[in-house]
Chains A and B, each alone.
Chain A
Amino acid sequence: MKSVDQARNALAFLEDEAHERAFDTLIWGLRERRDAAARDVPEWEELRTLASQIKEHTLSNLGQYLEMFEVSAARNGATMHWARDAHEHNQIVYDILNSHGAKHLVKSKSMLTEECDLRPFLQRRDIEVTETDLGERIQQLDDQPPTHIVGPAFQKTPQDVAELFYRVYGSDPDRADPVYLAQVMREHTRPLILSADAGMTGANFAVAATGAIVTVTNEGNADLSGNVPRLRICSVGIEKIIPGNDELAVFIRLLTRSATGERITQYTSHFRKPRAGSEMHIVLVDNGRSARLADERFWPSLKCIRCGACMNTCPVYRRSGGLSYGGTYMGPIGIITMPAADIRRYRELPFASTINGSCSNVCPVQIDIHEQIYQWREVMDDHGQFSTTKKAAMKVAGKVLSNPTAYRAAAESGLAALRVLPHFALYMRLNAWGRHRDVPAPPNETFHRWYARTRGRAEGDQP
């Protein structure tokens, strides 16, 4: 499959300035609210450290905790299934539905089922799937993947949604009012929930000691999807296991604060046992996770709790949009997870970053995201995945940066060029830095000249 050209996709996103501005404002607002929420908790950094340690403990003893979860879930009356990959997962879900004669499935948002492409798999087998999360349903109706882990439709403006609902439901195309639009969705989706044959949820956490599946939503749609039909299926990535309720408290305190700046979501739900006369099936899914666990460089990415904080703080994500990454996961966390799934297709992703470290600083489980991004660049080089242009540029950069004399000459001439080049030369297509922003005014002298002048060293001295 052709590699994803994130930069080109981002350019297309930037062409529409109104959408780009709205998206940037919305996403940066989440980052600011996250900061305020973190400042409000005196033990915030201690919680982050605990969360990281709990995840590292669980992942390094994952076999033991998966078996503990299995025993707890069986004790609760749930039926366990194991899937090595996406196809096995989809087949298991289909077999459960088919054996019950289920033709209509309602489900809450699950990045795992996106990753497995479950919806088209089931639809090809004549099973209708209705997403019940508002944002996810919007994306389903528009035949698009999620653009953000937390808010799947964040890339759309209210006007976009009004036009979409007009096309699908015949509602008023001129009422771009979120209250009205949410009501339209409720009126059309609720009857589908009430009459569904089966319900499905993902899992934010799976608690080994209790066998509980924990979901975190604002809408209550996971509770309805999981509880109204008699048949409940929960798909769980194996990295979602945590030891017990003491540990769960740490993650619930961190997750929503990191995601949206609120202390908690409206519904934090714990599905433990099927009610009388109903069934609960849990599908534990590997799909590349055990291979990542065995990679000493990249296993910490499995600590991710899908809050989206790294995306919200990332200047590249905010000005590229989620679709530009071409994968299930986007932004910094997408950069360090998608190449593990398909190194050739996602070879350009590690370069969609300034490596400013902000993603690591906000990560509630202390994943060293920016360092992993850098390491993925090294992997791409080792695997010969650099494009011809990148290879040539790196070759020149390597020579210039390893030779102080050549570097200083380049810096001096670059500075001089910035002063004299005409506007059209600075803002032509070949200069990526000049697209969509002003090049900063050139300083009067290079850092080296300033250092030599103010620190009294002579030109040519080694710094």
Chain B
Amino acid sequence: MSARDDILTAVRDGAPAPQPLPQVPDFASGTSDLVGPFTAALARLDGKVVLRPPAGILPWLSTTFPDAHRICSAVNEVHGNVTPAEFSDWAAPADIDVLIMRTPLGIAETGSILLTENEVGVTTAAVLAQHLVVLLDPADIIENLHHAYRHPAFQDAAYAVLLSGPSGSADIGGITVHPAQGVTTLTVVLAPRDNDTAEQ
């Protein structure tokens, strides 16, 4: 028999008595303020939330990341000097200083945002860039992980990652440091979608 058949036979022959599958509730509390908990949860892992800068995102970028030269924008409302389409392979974004993207989903419970290939085609850009800036419509924040996993954005993504803070590690002495192999900072900009007009 093949290994597959051997394993399937063994787990069927030796399985304990069948147990029922429980229904998982969504544990909704019905809370109306989701921005506050989202901000606090993201801060736990050293991520930051800012309100949309009144003067525009580009001026804010230049003051927040004054040393950034290569800015890649995956959103219509901000023009960087690198476009995601320019990446020749999936290691290419390693020299990006700042990546700007929009997420379809924020999770208040954990301060997470969702990234799939629909937001940034070469998804490694969101891990390899030095700094990640994520636009999030406050209306796209949902309460908890149960709601998140039922969100349509999860259903067909080839790759989906919940990002909940800048890359970190506590492997040395249990002290959390940034970055490990991914982004050094993660900033979420609260920016409604209906303000999607291009900045020059």
Q: Do A and B come from one complex?
A: yes
Contact indicator A178/B161 (Cβ below 8 Å): no
Scan residues 7-55 of chain B and give those whose CB is less than 8 A from a CB of chain A.
7-8, 10-22, 24, 27, 41, 44-45
A76, A152, A161, A246 — most chain B CB neighbours (10 Å): A246
Contact indicator B181/A154 (Cβ below 8 Å): no
The one of B21, B91, B112 in contact with A243, judged by C-beta atoms closer than 8 angstroms, is B21
The answer to the question of B182 belonging to the interface, with a C-beta cut-off of 8 Å to chain A, is yes
Q: State the main secondary structure of chain A at its contact with B.
A: helix
Question: With the chains together, A193 CA to B182 CA distance in Å?
Answer: 12
The answer to the question of A429 belonging to the interface, with a C-beta cut-off of 8 Å to chain B, is no
A60, A264, A269 — most chain B CB neighbours (10 Å): A264
Question: With the chains together, A139 CA to B177 CA distance in Å?
Answer: 19
Interface size on A, residues (CB 8 A): 89
Contact indicator A56/B19 (Cβ below 8 Å): yes
**Residues of chain B lying within 8 A (CB to CB) of residue A275:** 90, 117, 158-159
User: In the complex, how many angstroms separate the beta carbon of B192 from the nearest chain A beta carbon?
Assistant: 25
Scan residues 231-272 of chain A and give those whose CB is less than 8 A from a CB of chain B.
238, 243, 245-250, 252-253, 260, 262-272
**Residues of chain B lying within 8 A (CB to CB) of residue A260:** 170
Scan residues 265-289 of chain A and give those whose CB is less than 8 A from a CB of chain B.
265-275, 284, 286
The answer to the question of B183 belonging to the interface, with a C-beta cut-off of 8 Å to chain A, is yes
The answer to the question of A397 belonging to the interface, with a C-beta cut-off of 8 Å to chain B, is no
Contact indicator A266/B11 (Cβ below 8 Å): no
Question: With the chains together, A227 CA to B160 CA distance in Å?
Answer: 12
Q: How many A-B residue pairs have CB under 8 A?
A: 244
Question: With the chains together, A157 CA to B150 CA distance in Å?
Answer: 42
The answer to the question of B98 belonging to the interface, with a C-beta cut-off of 8 Å to chain A, is no
Chain B, residues 56-81, CB within 8 Å of chain A (1/0): the string is 00000000000000000000000000
Task: Look across to chain B and name the residue whose beta carbon is closest to the beta carbon of A247.
Answer: B24
User: In the complex, how many angstroms separate the beta carbon of A79 from the nearest chain B beta carbon?
Assistant: 13
> Contact size class for B?
35 or more
Question: With the chains together, A243 CA to B24 CA distance in Å?
Answer: 12
Contact A238-B172, Cβ < 8 Å, known A263-B110, A266-B167: no
Contact indicator A264/B8 (Cβ below 8 Å): no
Task: Look across to chain A and name the residue whose beta carbon is closest to the beta carbon of B6.
Answer: A84
User: In the complex, how many angstroms separate the beta carbon of A216 from the nearest chain B beta carbon?
Assistant: 10
Scan residues 172-195 of chain A and give those whose CB is less than 8 A from a CB of chain B.
178-179, 181-182, 185-186, 189-190, 193-195
Chain A, residues 341-356, CB within 8 Å of chain B (1/0): the string is 0000000000000000
Which stretch (A96-104, A291-299, A359-367, A400-408) binds chain B?
A291-299
Contact indicator B91/A154 (Cβ below 8 Å): no
The one of A63, A83, A151, A270 in contact with B8, judged by C-beta atoms closer than 8 angstroms, is A63
Question: With the chains together, A212 CA to B20 CA distance in Å?
Answer: 23
**Residues of chain B lying within 8 A (CB to CB) of residue A248:** 149
Scan residues 137-190 of chain B and give those whose CB is less than 8 A from a CB of chain A.
144-146, 148-150, 154, 157-177, 179-183
Q: Interface on A for B, CB 8 Å cutoff? A: 22, 26, 29-30, 43, 50, 53-54, 56-57, 59-63, 66-67, 76, 82-84, 88, 132-135, 138, 151-154, 156-158, 161, 178-179, 181-182, 185-186, 189-190, 193-195, 212, 218-221, 223-224, 227-228, 238, 243, 245-250, 252-253, 260, 262-275, 284, 286, 290-291, 293-296, 299
